[in-house]
Amino acid sequence: MDAAPSTPGPALGIALVTGACSGIGRALAEQLGARGHDLILVSQRPAELAQTAAAITARHGVSAHDVVCDLARPQAAEELFAAVHARGLSVDILVSNAGFFFFGEAVDAALPQANAMLQLHVVTPSLLCTLFGRPMRARRRGHILLVSSISAFRDVPSISYYGSSKKYLRGFAASLRSELGVYGVNVTCLTPGATATALYDPNVVPVDLATRLGVMMDAKEVAAAGLQALFERRAECIPGRMNRLLAHTAALLPQAVIDAARRHAPWLPPIKQPPR
């Protein structure tokens, strides 16, 4: 159900945000609304989605359409594209943000969870770029923001599925940017570091403590940095000075140091060792 009557999008263009009900996606949607963009908000929770759409419309006076979709299914991208088309809307800004996280070694992963992560982080964002990128290329304008992660900069044990899928997204964004840039369509990759959101199970990751210690950023700051980079047509954005330092330093370290640092991080779930 739409939160506001369907009206033609303003000259600013319509922004579609996946994972728009919470965390970084919610902040991105709010800030795009504040900039005057009409919105298409996507999530798998109908009630939260309708509430989010209504709140953004009330605050910023933009239209906010909601589309309920589980993006971790193989046919999700085509269904979402068809749903947007059926409403007569055209997307000028695509923000692929939806994601989830789990700790665990790859061989221990539950197959449905691993499969869902690859669908949500790899298949669906790629196909959304193909489907929504085609009309952008034809119109010779548009923006695509792909939300990857700082974990894309190194290969970290215990997050093989998460980190590698985010690494794929970062690479995909870079080559898509080259392909579409010559048509005037901008592609930016947002690679946040640790951010205080519902992504983490608070029983596993001490989100409150990390926030108090300044280790985790606020989702609003991350979103603001991402949108600034997007509209400045930058290739990539690592929000936060500490995260930029971390990403660039980590890129110089041997893999053995990354492995050792992860294995000896007492605040993260332990990695198994073979019995002696």
Ligand X SMILES: NC(=O)c1ccc[n+]([C@@H]2O[C@H](COP(=O)([O-])OP(=O)(O)OC[C@H]3O[C@@H](n4cnc5c(N)ncnc54)[C@H](OP(=O)(O)O)[C@@H]3O)[C@@H](O)[C@H]2O)c1
Interface residues toward ligand X, by CB under 6 A: 18-19, 21-25, 43-45, 70-72, 97-100, 120, 147, 149, 192, 194-195, 197-199, 219
Residue 209 beta carbon to ligand X: minimum distance, rounded to whole angstroms: 14
- Cβ closer to ligand X: 183 or 211? 211
- Cβ closer to ligand X: 71 or 77? 71
- Cβ closer to ligand X: 12 or 160? 160
Residue 193 beta carbon to ligand X: minimum distance, rounded to whole angstroms: 6
Residue 222 beta carbon to ligand X: minimum distance, rounded to whole angstroms: 8
- Cβ closer to ligand X: 12 or 210? 210
- Cβ closer to ligand X: 12 or 206? 206
- Cβ closer to ligand X: 44 or 183? 44
Residue 54 beta carbon to ligand X: minimum distance, rounded to whole angstroms: 16
Residue 2 beta carbon to ligand X: minimum distance, rounded to whole angstroms: 17
Residue 7 beta carbon to ligand X: minimum distance, rounded to whole angstroms: 25
Please spell the DSSP secondary structure of the chain, one letter per residue: --SS---PPPTT-EEEEESTTSHHHHHHHHHHHHTT-EEEEEES-HHHHHHHHHHHHHHH---EEEEE--TTSTTHHHHHHHHHHHTT--EEEEEE---------GGG--HHHHHHHHIIIIIHHHHHHHHHHHHHHHHT-EEEEEE--GGGGS--TT-HHHHHHHHHHHHHHHHHHHHHHTTTEEEEEE---SB-STTS-TTTS-HHHHHHTT-SB-HHHHHHHHHHHHHTT-SEE--SHHHHHHHHHHTTS-HHHHHHHHHT-TTSPPPP----
